[in-house]
Structure 1
Amino acid sequence: MNLSAEPIAPMSGHQVLVFVTLIGLLLGSALLLGLLARRLGLPSVIGELCAGVLIGPSIVGTLVPDVAGWLQTGQERQLHLVDAVGYLGVLLLVGITGIGIDVGLLRRRAGATAWVSATALVLPLAAGVALGLVLPDDLVAQGADRVPFAAFVGVAMCVSAVPVIAKTLLDMRLLHRDVGQLIMGSATASDLVGWLLLSVVSAMATVGVRAANVLLPVAFIAGLVLICMTVARPSVGYVLRLAGRTRDHGAMTATVVLLLFAFAALTQALHLEAVLGAMLGGMVIGSSKYLDREKLAPLRTFVTAVLAPLFFATAGLRMDLTALARPTVLAAAGLVLVVAVVTKFAGAYLGARTARMGRWESMALGAGLNARGAIEVIIAIVGLQLGVLTTEMYTIIILVAIITSLTAPPMLRLAARNIEVTAEEKARDRWLNGPTADDNADDDDGPTLRAA
């Protein structure tokens, strides 16, 4: 290590100006479009996802290129700065959602969760691979093999997006409902398999499929779940008990954030994904009797109102809708979208019905798991970086991610209104949203967040 090296120069004044301006535009657009979405009866996450599309190359970059050039939305360094802020938001959002998960309910409904997760993965995965084998050649990156390309399309279509689903359920005040808990449990299980499949198809695109590339991620996931069930729970409980002894409310908040980042770092080190670690960490934290949820209310407000909208807004900055002007690309986008929505809904619905769940519960699961969002964005980015996907195919996948996040809430709201509210759900509503929460869980137009 060269200790005599010159220190890294800080950001220049112009870089700081561009950074804070871009953050302000993203947050302001996300806020306004989120409010508009709420007025239209949609979750605010829909407007937040569209904010980045507005400021990115699709709208601002096309209509006022000089402004886009000054904001440097096409430069890697500038995007990484914004990504870093948004990524903090998604880790904390997923972690807070994990804290609200009723682990006991998921244990009691383990069979239903397993059936829904499996069928909601297998059907769209098979359809996506088949579709990837017949899509036009100009959507496959030059020099890339057709089989890895088809595998990437299949994986992108089979995953769900825990961050988007979490924000949608919070916006609609459905997280306390049994069906909301099952949606989150199934989405988390699907993501476990999704990251495993991503590691496999990435290996296919680089070094080919080897036993170690498949078995190692499986071993990591199994070990991670075992650690969460044994060592992590008492350790986390001990740390939370120490934090609870102080009179400073900030100590509990800082401790929870530190624990979430520790879990996220662990899964990222295992090449699984930090978001998965934050979710599992939140579930471990939420199961501890030493957690004082009342002290986390300011953190929840800041994350859901500021950091999370920034993350969703950044997802659209890399999307270029002008690629859809080509008829072949537009036709391919429509085909991929239809297959993605139908197979995901059908897979989750059939799995729920196989587990002897009611018709409306099955429809709610099919609608909720259809939101792909940020996770599909990550898969698309990996495929682009590995030289498997073209920019046009990347845009198609991002478009599917955004539109599926748009179409999920109306069906989810309709299904939830036809599912009877139980006493346990009302108690969980008060536990999640505070004593002022309306016991009528059907009022999904109520406040997104109340003091926990």
Structure 2
Amino acid sequence: MAVEQVAPLAPDVVLVFLVQVGVLLALAVALGSLAVRWRMPALVGELTAGLLLGPSVLGHAAPALSGWLFPREGGQMHLLESVGLLGVLFLVALAGAQIDPGLVRRQRGTALKVSLGGLLVPLAGGVACGLLLPRALAGPNGSPWVFALFMGVAMCVSAIPVIARTLTDLNMLHRRVGQLTLTAAVFDDVCGWLMLSLLSAMAASGLHTGDVVRSVVMLAVAVAGAVWVVRPLARLVLGRARGAGTVLTSVVVLILLSAAGSAALGLEAIVGAFACGVAIGSVRTGGRDGTRDTGGGAGGRADLTPLAPLDRVLTCVLAPLFFATAGLRIDLTALADTRFAVPAVVVLVIAVAGKFAGAFLGAMAGRLSRWEGLALGAALNARGVIEVVIATAGLRMGVLNPASYTIVILVAIATSLMAPPLLRWTMARVETTPEEEHRLAVHRRVWGPAAQPAPAPEPQPGPQPEAAVRK
């Protein structure tokens, strides 16, 4: 029986795709490096690259060139978005792998209060804001409550990679505020991913009791799968893998299949990738005290040092392409309309005030000082990478439209830029305790000068590679 052949990609489609990737990557890396030099997160420059090549600048300055380079034809854009999808899956998975369960256990009391405050207050503010925003900002699948809940999720998350890098730059990973920040950010982000998975199902079928129950059941299945299937499988595969190439391939396959399993359950693929990353991170975590095993130690936990090539490809290629592609969808001309400019300012104010108020109330409940509460708010306010991922998911689900997508991206950029100076200002008023000095001395004695009790490495003297800068 003859098999019908699938027509190959047309030469002009291949040409445009290659030019798109080359131009986006070159400009994203250049502007990202410039942003780092100016002590800003790299994602600011990478998003700016997409903004300059998108409808905001190139689309107005050279519409003919913009129409050829980034045509609105679906198949052409889907090629570019597929590369960005791989980038976001690995980005979220490796962020999940940086979570230290031992750190979470040690700080669970006070951190739970801080994280609950930093989650519930901005979530409530975001939902209220979403209900009051003009209906013109909702996407085609954004019913009033789904859109409002999505805005709440977008406002309650924090960006673990941006926070970890900020704390590293300011030498605050050994401080109590630094450890509480990372622990609370882990809890808030896990809750954010879980709520996002529910919203993805609700956006597809509407807000109905039966669909919500089904979404909760599917979410429970996904969590059970991560705990009882993915984690043991990761331990088995990584424990028996031999050679750097085998470990790298095994991790990539686990991430992709976990993302596929999440999508098969009707959830966002990034939820499965994040869960897989957490499972992989728990495999490489050492004993009961939370110290890390670098391979061959107690318990036979695998050494994931061979993942460095994946991290470098992600940092230097896939992540810049994802953020630049996300920037292509930003249309600042929409904000020239006062109907959208005023809501943008309102959303930013509510997002910042909600995080600060929630973290401060949680800190007061945990009997921390006033300045420690403000420092926690300054650190947790950074949304960066995670909010960009959530905004992209909202646009893909049809909950957001280009105008509301632009507003959420601007909040991600603004809050990431605010974090370092505000954290530096607040922590200057928090005295270093003897316990913190002792903790720093102990960790340096055990792990060496480069080690810190946190997922991110301490910066070394001299120029830093781009992978270290992003983290």
Is 1:318 matched up with 2:329?
Answer: yes
Q: Aligned partners of 2:142 and 2:244: how far apart in 1?
A: 54
- Of residues 404, 407, 432, the one that matches 1:396 is 407
Which segment is superposed worse, 28-37 or 212-221? 212-221
Partner of 2:247: 252
Partner of 1:370: 381
Inter-CA distance 43–266: structure 2 relative to 1 (3 Å threshold): same
Q: CA deviation at 1:136?
A: 3.9
AA of the residue aligned to 2:411: V
Q: CA deviation at 1:372?
A: 3.4
Which segment is superposed worse, 85-94 or 214-223? 214-223
Which segment is superposed worse, 395-404 or 185-194? 185-194
**Over the residues paired in the alignment, what is the CA RMSD in angstroms?**
3.8
Partner of 2:343: 332
Partner of 2:212: 214
SS in structure 1 opposite 2:241? helix
- Residues 382-422 of structure 1 show CA distances to partners (whole Å, capped at 9, x for unaligned) of 66567665543333233223323333343345567766563
TM-score, structure 1 normalization: 0.82
Q: Aligned partners of 1:445 and 1:363: how far apart in 2?
A: 32
Inter-CA distance 64–182: structure 2 relative to 1 (3 Å threshold): farther
AA of the residue aligned to 1:271: G
Q: CA deviation at 1:233?
A: 3.5
TM-score, structure 2 normalization: 0.79
Q: Aligned partners of 2:134 and 2:34: how far apart in 1?
A: 37
Is 1:286 matched up with 2:297?
Answer: no
Partner of 2:419: 408
SS in structure 2 opposite 1:316? helix
Q: Is the 8 A contact 1:240 1:291 kept in 2?
A: yes
Is 1:235 matched up with 2:223?
Answer: no
- Of residues 52, 62, 65, the one that matches 2:63 is 65
Q: Is the 8 A contact 2:88 2:389 kept in 1?
A: no
Q: Is the 8 A contact 2:258 2:272 kept in 1?
A: yes
Partner of 1:277: 272
Inter-CA distance 188–77: structure 2 relative to 1 (3 Å threshold): farther
Q: Aligned partners of 1:260 and 1:41: how far apart in 2?
A: 32
Which segment is superposed worse, 164-173 or 289-298? 164-173
Partner of 1:8: 6
- Of residues 119, 126, 129, the one that matches 1:128 is 126
Which segment is superposed worse, 318-327 or 258-267? 258-267
Inter-CA distance 267–349: structure 2 relative to 1 (3 Å threshold): farther
SS in structure 2 opposite 1:287? helix
- Residues 52-93 of structure 1 show CA distances to partners (whole Å, capped at 9, x for unaligned) of 111111111111112211112533323322221122122222
Q: CA deviation at 1:359?
A: 5.3
SS in structure 2 opposite 1:277? helix
SS in structure 2 opposite 1:42? coil
Is 1:302 matched up with 2:297?
Answer: no
1:188-207 matches, within 5 Å, as 188-198=186-196
AA of the residue aligned to 1:274: A
Inter-CA distance 46–173: structure 2 relative to 1 (3 Å threshold): farther
Q: Aligned partners of 2:272 and 2:172: how far apart in 1?
A: 23
Q: CA deviation at 1:169?
A: 6.8
Q: Aligned partners of 2:278 and 2:104: how far apart in 1?
A: 11
Partner of 2:77: 79
AA of the residue aligned to 1:268: A
AA of the residue aligned to 1:410: P
Q: Aligned partners of 1:226 and 1:361: how far apart in 2?
A: 36
AA of the residue aligned to 1:249: A
Which segment is superposed worse, 153-162 or 261-270? 153-162
Which segment is superposed worse, 378-387 or 287-296? 378-387
- Residues 193-238 of structure 1 show CA distances to partners (whole Å, capped at 9, x for unaligned) of 3344445556666655333433444444444444444554443222
Q: Aligned partners of 2:204 and 2:254: how far apart in 1?
A: 34
Which segment is superposed worse, 189-198 or 234-243? 189-198
Identity among equivalent positions (%) equals: 47
Partner of 2:24: 26
Q: CA deviation at 1:318?
A: 0.9
Q: Is the 8 A contact 2:194 2:271 kept in 1?
A: no
Q: Is the 8 A contact 2:443 2:452 kept in 1?
A: no
How many matched pairs? 442
Is 1:341 matched up with 2:356?
Answer: no
Q: Aligned partners of 2:199 and 2:272: how far apart in 1?
A: 21
AA of the residue aligned to 2:409: I
Q: Is the 8 A contact 2:168 2:459 kept in 1?
A: no
Q: Is the 8 A contact 1:370 1:408 kept in 2?
A: yes
Which segment is superposed worse, 202-211 or 396-405? 202-211
